[in-house]
Structure 1
Amino acid sequence: MHPMSILKDKLSVIDRVVPHGSKVVYLDIPLHLNVGDLLIYKGTEQFFKERNYQVLARRTDKSSLKYVEETKSLPEDVIILLHGGGNFGDLYVPHQRLREAVVKKFPRHKIVFLPQTLHFNDHNEMLKSGNIMRSHKNLTIFCRDVRSQKILQEHFCDDVELCPDMAHSLWGVFPQQNRAEIKRDTLWMIRKDIEGGKVSAEIQLPSPDKYEDWEDICTDKDRKKLKLLERTERVNKALSSGLIGTSSSWGTYTDGLVARVNDYFMSFDTVVTSRMHGHILCCLLGVKTKLLDNSYGKNSGYYEAWTKDVPECELISL
């Protein structure tokens, strides 16, 4: 069996707490142009589709807290799912505050955090957040690496389980690169945000103006669409989180955006990246990839846990 098929199958650990056909609410959908988060989003929706979940509500990261605040009650059999990724901790505070708000608001519902990587700069913030989540009696946290698992089990929750990233649900859904159609040599996809690590001088990188990050690959049309939907979400936050169907419109639009990114990646022979999902996307598409670490070891941890056996993948030690 192909290593990517094995990784997709490993997502079935989620079935233990969210059985096929479950009624769910899906919160914290990424309304931004980090295509890595969009790949998690698309993988999550594919996972839902394959398991026939009944999704009663979807809310973006801009209106999820409003949904939590305005919801007076939910049927007892509804499971609350929060988007996975790498924002568990104090680097991206609004996402962590949303998790804490959900735990406080719904003490009797099953709550599931889809696969995450944890990082706190401030130990006291970690302890405070952990105390809030420890109070919930039916919380399950899936995580993407052993380091996160140990911290989560010690401070946040007893029910913590290792799981690959949700983007792996897209294996067999996305196309595979046809090497006869390769037009370019190397794509250098290097992080430009707060997780960007220092690259060793031994790595012969091109000049920074040759780097690309997710936003560079997106177009002005994508940015205009995002601004429009951000305005609709401001209306949803002011009135009702479900007044305008932002998540539906965004879902349809980003199907095309992701397809465009797939074509772009497949036009290169090799992708050198410090973006975890640049790496995962290459694995999904069958593109050669060389992975650099981010600022706190997220990428190397993921590679060692999951993708080291995928063909044409290499971790570049710094």
Structure 2
Amino acid sequence: MMLQEWRDDTPRESRTSEDLRIALRDRIKEVLLPLISGRGERIHLIDPPDHPNVGDCAILLGELDFFKRELPGSKVGFHDWSTYSRSSDRHVERASVLLMHGGGNFGDIWPHHHQFRLEILRRFPKRPTIQLAQSIHFDSPEALQETRDAIAAHSDFTLLARDTKSEAFARANFDCHVALCPDMAFAMDRIVRKPATVDAFCLLRTDKEAVAPHEGIKKQLNQMGLSAEAGDWMDDPRTAERLWDRLYSKLTRKFPAAYPLLAPLAFTARRRYAEARLRVGIDLLSRGRIVVTDRLHAHILSTLLGIPNVVFRSFDAKAAAFYDTWTHAAPICRLADDPSDMVHAVQAVMPPK
């Protein structure tokens, strides 16, 4: 099913989450593959996540599955903000294209990631560079101007926006090629949910982007006669996957000259860590017959898993922007502004027992 058909021609009740997954996966291929074609021999991925956020790990796995499926002959290396140093430059310079990890940190909410992005743009102004699908948010005019300057000075930079709001902002503010592209989590190989144990699982933020009133949400669900649990996915237990990933990150940072030997091991460790975090996310989301969340990727992963879900407007409006751009037509998805609005949204998606 083509994306335009999904949007316009198919009755809402006939659409499935699998239809959406395929349509958005195909849209990613349509947008991204021509940008990499002819220069995908040596890909260097910039700033893949070294942290436990399940959403970022899902994006990374989508990126890696895309490379495996669409660019099977490519050699892929990476540096993140914690492992890069000037001594790493010679390894980055060997890349035929730089791909910057997608997500929601383009701007000044998470400045250390964005500053690393700008440093790479400044250090490699002639290297073909593609920013994979991102939401964009700036509060500081100074930070916005710094970003404008870094992009204007780069000779070959493409910015993929994750929603139409970010796309319009990028076209108005940045001197580069801009295109609209879905979140890279939709490029993941198919994932499958587990059996539910409660009516509603509330995956709610506990970081500085939290806006949803947690107790009010659970109380409202209980008043509807629904059993509910709540949690977040930012725990980071000392698993084997975490320890191996940290070890190879430390070795990469300490011995940059050994990068050609360490890179394959570090890359495997990073993927396994991301896979372990994704399993945590699937286990949490699968607890509910429905999911209520203020995390964009809990909404995205629930949709990929076929779990009916209600997503609140987020701190920087990225959840609403993504919903309005891509997932609003899915019958299992609804957007809510507050706990009272949530009641109607939950009633619309709650499956019969």
Q: What is residue 106 of structure 1 aligned with on the other side?
A: 124
Q: Residues 68 and 78 of structure 1: is their aligned pair in 2 closer, same or farther, counting only changes over 3 Å?
A: farther
Q: What is residue 93 of structure 2 aligned with on the other side?
A: 74
Q: What is residue 16 of structure 2 aligned with on the other side?
A: none
2:267 is aligned with what amino acid? Answer: S
Q: Among 291, 310, 313, which residue is 2:311 paired with?
A: 291
Q: CA deviation at 1:206?
A: 7.2
Q: CA deviation at 1:45?
A: 0.6
Contact 1:78 1:110 in 2 (8 A): yes
Q: What is residue 291 of structure 2 aligned with on the other side?
A: 271
1:205-257 Cα distance to aligned partner (Å, 9 max, x none): 579x96311124x5x343x7535633542342233172643332121243244
The yes-or-no answer on 1:174 pairing with 2:179 is no
Separation in 2, partners of 1:122, 1:99: 17
Q: Residues 22 and 186 of structure 1: is their aligned pair in 2 closer, same or farther, counting only changes over 3 Å?
A: same
Q: Among 57, 64, 68, which residue is 1:45 paired with?
A: 64
Q: What is residue 35 of structure 1 aligned with on the other side?
A: 54
The yes-or-no answer on 1:213 pairing with 2:232 is yes
Separation in 2, partners of 1:49, 1:193: 33
Separation in 2, partners of 1:103, 1:253: 27
Separation in 1, partners of 2:200, 2:32: 36
Separation in 1, partners of 2:39, 2:90: 23
| SS of the residue 1:22 aligns to | coil
| SS of the residue 2:158 aligns to | strand
Contact 1:32 1:226 in 2 (8 A): no
Give matches, 1:149-188, under 5 Å: 149-170=167-188, 173-175=190-192, 177=193, 181-188=195-202
Contact 1:131 1:155 in 2 (8 A): no
Separation in 1, partners of 2:155, 2:39: 23
Q: What is residue 141 of structure 2 aligned with on the other side?
A: 123
Contact 1:140 1:157 in 2 (8 A): no
Q: CA deviation at 1:10?
A: 0.9
1:84-120 Cα distance to aligned partner (Å, 9 max, x none): 0000111212211222122122222210000001111
Contact 1:59 1:67 in 2 (8 A): no
Contact 2:57 2:275 in 1 (8 A): no
Q: Residues 298 and 73 of structure 1: is their aligned pair in 2 closer, same or farther, counting only changes over 3 Å?
A: closer
TM-score w.r.t. structure 1 length? 0.87
Q: Residues 121 and 227 of structure 1: is their aligned pair in 2 closer, same or farther, counting only changes over 3 Å?
A: farther
Q: CA deviation at 1:198?
A: 4.5
| SS of the residue 2:36 aligns to | coil
Separation in 2, partners of 1:137, 1:88: 19
Stretch deviating more after TM superposition (238-247 or 109-118): 238-247
Contact 1:4 1:310 in 2 (8 A): no
More helix by proportion, 1 or 2? 2
Q: What is residue 249 of structure 2 aligned with on the other side?
A: 233
Identity %: 24
Q: What stretches of structure 2 of length at least 5 have no aligned partner?
A: 2-18, 223-227, 339-353
Q: What is residue 321 of structure 2 aligned with on the other side?
A: 301
Q: What is residue 83 of structure 1 aligned with on the other side?
A: 101
Separation in 2, partners of 1:262, 1:201: 23
1:287-308 Cα distance to aligned partner (Å, 9 max, x none): 1111011112110011000111
Q: Among 209, 213, 237, which residue is 1:195 paired with?
A: 209
Contact 1:293 1:300 in 2 (8 A): yes
Q: CA deviation at 1:124?
A: 1.5
Q: Residues 83 and 92 of structure 1: is their aligned pair in 2 closer, same or farther, counting only changes over 3 Å?
A: same
Q: Among 68, 93, 96, which residue is 2:111 paired with?
A: 93
Aligned Cα root-mean-square deviation (Å) = 2.7
Contact 1:142 1:161 in 2 (8 A): yes
- Size of the aligned set, in residue pairs, is 308
The yes-or-no answer on 1:312 pairing with 2:346 is no
1:174-223 Cα distance to aligned partner (Å, 9 max, x none): 12x47xx332221111111111124499754579x96311124x5x343x
Separation in 2, partners of 1:73, 1:289: 41
| SS of the residue 1:309 aligns to | coil
Stretch deviating more after TM superposition (246-255 or 192-201): 192-201
Q: CA deviation at 1:22?
A: 1.6
1:294 is aligned with what amino acid? Answer: S
Contact 2:65 2:187 in 1 (8 A): yes
Contact 1:164 1:306 in 2 (8 A): yes
Q: What is residue 347 of structure 2 aligned with on the other side?
A: none
Q: Residues 33 and 201 of structure 1: is their aligned pair in 2 closer, same or farther, counting only changes over 3 Å?
A: closer
Separation in 1, partners of 2:184, 2:87: 23
1:52-108 Cα distance to aligned partner (Å, 9 max, x none): 251341233421x32775327735x70110100000111212211222122122222
1:116-156 Cα distance to aligned partner (Å, 9 max, x none): 01111211111112111111121000011222222222222
Q: What is residue 22 of structure 2 aligned with on the other side?
A: 5
